[in-house]
Structure 1
């Protein structure tokens, strides 16, 4: 999963600069989902939806940097129970810590290990060149680009476990700011662009190269044929990327319009999925767990319910575009509901400010048709408000046996926590931390 990559920032959508040859090749060999949605328009909530199959508010990850409840059951925990060896590499951002990514401490009760990952080399948030990372609580410094580092660490893990079933999560730190790309990755970006823009796009080039390394090594190890490789971004693109970065859609990261929610997605599985398919079936990150649940034949009681996603396995090698269950979204006081071509947008949940769009003819979400499609609008509003009541029950802890066992802690910047205070002096001169620590009045300038 990439970090802040917009729907339009792939070569197969004819981005004016980015060619992403490895994602293009992956799409030729797999199923490209042109209407795939992040579970939320920002990162931590989407990450919770990937791991649980549930809308982010049910897990108490209401916004970026907020901690996921320890009573949630993740896809990693369930697969581990089935005999899969599990691993996480890269950005985590589900332990309640804000600020640039730092190594996750062993004593962090919301580390990847707690949520089912046998192996993990992870950071709390975004990370770039030559990062400090945590190998199961041991702080290590790695050399090179962040994308290349985590893919090569993942491949090392896969090599050791290739004779057994494995489940690997690779969560990139790119192209999240602050942008920093190696010279070789910026070489194909036009020189006339500002340096920050060249770094920004260079991070996507770097990430695409690492996907090529991953795919080639899976082939070399004889694993590509029956390994499911699922790629998507965690939320819509940034204003930094312009309208072309979101493929001309309305809005950016943080918005519940298409530009904030729709993301690139490819599923490659040569043994089961015919290559070169392009689907307009609406799907989301909430569908990842239910889909894998269906593929491996898990028992129905292996997930915390309600589940908001569904298995999309039936659309593999199918031309169907009709989804039976709408896709709901809630982010702070905004929301949306996608029911095939129709999309209900809620700009203000408390004030019930609704708009309805027909995405089949109005991808830009310019024409509110609520007044002319009153029956469909009323149907979707009723569904959404009923769903909101269900979410309130989840927030109250009613989804867990015995209720909520631990109160939801507040999110906080890592430099304000007692656990990280001893590291401030050690890390203060690192470029990824210095300016943020200075702005937070934790250090004096050099």
Structure 2
């Protein structure tokens, strides 16, 4: 009997020791386009309950000055997965529509991901959701350190249609024909993976596409928000409620398996809200997605690790998504090699060991011609939200604005003239950082052209694979052609005309030609089966839509904009619609011209790239 008791005690001690030495599970949840002002725990809006996401803050620490290193999708994700500023390896912009992506456009294969690092440390690794880091085989998540993948490879995606081709839904490399409502599908698959791997340390990367447009929702969520009068806000509320429920699905699985105390959980958004597009709000912050103003780069940022990280705490020290990788490695007991040149820092000493210092001396941004540096309470910034130039181009600190964020969270009071020495100090520090970066490997206006330039040298001896000539800046253009912002027509303050030839067997839909984005630009497209011209002027959107459907088949279409903003639409020489736009373009858009799609930032009320489903040819755009 005594021997039996001693043996039982030995087994119990061994079990406790093994449990104590267990590496923590890691759950990294990313929302898409969720603004800083949303979520109940953020304290700015009350119309959309988010109890599951809020529970993370109640049981963990919320950083009120949490940032991402890029103001929109793909660059943020590239930095998140590598722990390095994305500009160090040329991933400064989104890689372009899936149909345009090729071997040169995606997360640099020389960069190791958090999946690579944790898999090498014995973790089971799963990726459930959006990629947006390249569609060629070498960029597939299962080639980037992940054992299992369920999701899509492109940028935007429908919530209710599986899609097809390169941007379909895949389980591994096999297409999925009926995933169900996509937000719920990603949560379901993540929970299933956790169940299967419950006895091993696991890492789950869960990048939802919610709450990114399109605003496609389920009736069960729509019914909850009938009191919201704004129809767009009502749909957004349903989308966010679906996201919160799906976060709950995964958190409940962790709880049911009694793994909460063994699981480090992060929650973040990939960038600020695109408020004019979806109503996703940024609270008191200035600006939106795709801007280096606070509204584009400051995001909800929560860390939970029950029993290790303080519960219900708000920390106001600036941190950034680059920190997740080194923090995870520290939690897993993986030493960091200085040769990896990580830019993130391990947050555990600040979260659980009482370190009161600042995790970062400074944080930096470069996004084309937009720049920013935050050091302490001071921020030097040149943003499209301050009237700066969006899109690709040479970045500089000249003309940057200075704000004290502790006193002016909304960036309303420019102190550059009053604090010239502070401007000089921050500009010098940003310039030093900038010298350590490389040029973008592709730009918003021309992913195909950038890819061709990258691969041309390797292909120049193979006539069959020789790169196509770049599109002429003078036109005419055809499907797939694109120009940089600098190459594109300058229609500032000018009446203009667009002509194009269409050839398609199906009912036409999609963008025929576009230039610009959601701040300034135009798009000739098909809306609800009818030819339409949309124009953005200082983010204000106005459209003229034809009065009759555009039939399938070949057509010549025209749009003419007069000096007073009056617009006329023609199909095969016949006038099919007239109306009044808000005016002419107030400035030249930074985003370039694209034919057959709308690149990355949508001009109209559709989800970019919104590719045309037929062929477009002989496109001209000319000032009148």
TM interval, short-chain normalised: 0.7 to 0.9
Give the number of the structure with larger relative contact order, counting CA–CA contacts within 8 Å between residues 6 or more apart.
Answer: 1
Q: 1:8 aligns to what?
A: 37
**Cα separation, 1, equivalents of 2:324 and 2:53:** 19
Q: Is the 8 A contact 2:371 2:397 kept in 1?
A: no
Against the structure 1 CA distance between its residues 112 and 180, is the aligned structure 2 distance closer, same or farther, given a 3 Å change threshold?
same
Q: Is the 8 A contact 1:4 1:253 kept in 2?
A: yes
Q: 1:51 aligns to what?
A: 81
Q: Give deviations 1:258-305, integer Å, cap 9, x for gaps.
A: 111111111111031121111111111111112112222323328632
Name stretches of at least 5 consecutive residues in structure 1 with no aligned partner: 98-106, 396-405, 417-424
TM normalised by structure 1 equals 0.84
Alignment of 1:375-386 (within 5 A): 375-386=421-432
Q: 2:307 aligns to what?
A: 271
Q: What is the Cα-based RMSD across aligned positions, in Å? A: 3.1
Q: 1:156 aligns with which of 175, 184, 192?
A: 192
Q: 1:420 aligns to what?
A: none
Higher helix share: 1
Q: 1:345 aligns to what?
A: 381
TM normalised by structure 2 equals 0.61
How far residue 190 of structure 1 moved from its aligned partner, in angstroms, is 3.4
Q: 2:356 aligns to what?
A: 320
**Cα separation, 2, equivalents of 1:303 and 1:167:** 24
Q: Is the 8 A contact 1:147 1:210 kept in 2?
A: yes
Q: 1:442 aligns to what?
A: 613
Q: 1:212 aligns to what?
A: 248
Q: Is the 8 A contact 1:344 1:356 kept in 2?
A: yes
**Cα separation, 1, equivalents of 2:377 and 2:278:** 25
Q: 2:147 aligns with which of 118, 136, 140?
A: 118
Q: 2:345 aligns to what?
A: 310
Alignment of 1:389-428 (within 5 A): 389-392=435-438
Pick which of 192-201 and 167-176 moved more: 192-201
Against the structure 1 CA distance between its residues 89 and 210, is the aligned structure 2 distance closer, same or farther, given a 3 Å change threshold?
same
Q: Please tell me whether residue 90 in structure 1 is matched to residue 129 in structure 2.
A: yes
How far residue 241 of structure 1 moved from its aligned partner, in angstroms, is 7.1
Q: Give deviations 1:219-255, integer Å, cap 9, x for gaps.
A: 1011111101100000001123788810121000011
SS at match of 2:169: strand
Q: Is the 8 A contact 1:69 1:408 kept in 2?
A: no
Against the structure 1 CA distance between its residues 116 and 303, is the aligned structure 2 distance closer, same or farther, given a 3 Å change threshold?
farther
Q: Is the 8 A contact 1:175 1:201 kept in 2?
A: no
SS at match of 1:353: coil
Q: 1:358 aligns to what?
A: 404
SS at match of 2:109: coil
Q: Is the 8 A contact 1:126 1:174 kept in 2?
A: no
Against the structure 1 CA distance between its residues 439 and 377, is the aligned structure 2 distance closer, same or farther, given a 3 Å change threshold?
closer
Q: 1:249 aligns with which of 277, 285, 291?
A: 285
**Cα separation, 2, equivalents of 1:192 and 1:300:** 49
Alignment of 1:225-304 (within 5 A): 225-240=261-276, 245-301=281-337, 304=340
**Cα separation, 1, equivalents of 2:377 and 2:426:** 12
Q: Is the 8 A contact 1:44 1:93 kept in 2?
A: yes
Q: Give deviations 1:55-83, integer Å, cap 9, x for gaps.
A: 12123211123521110111110111111
**Cα separation, 2, equivalents of 1:249 and 1:23:** 21
Q: Please tell me whether residue 80 in structure 1 is matched to residue 124 in structure 2.
A: no
Q: 2:160 aligns to what?
A: 129
Q: 2:56 aligns to what?
A: 26
The number of residues matched between the two structures is: 410
**Cα separation, 1, equivalents of 2:277 and 2:61:** 26
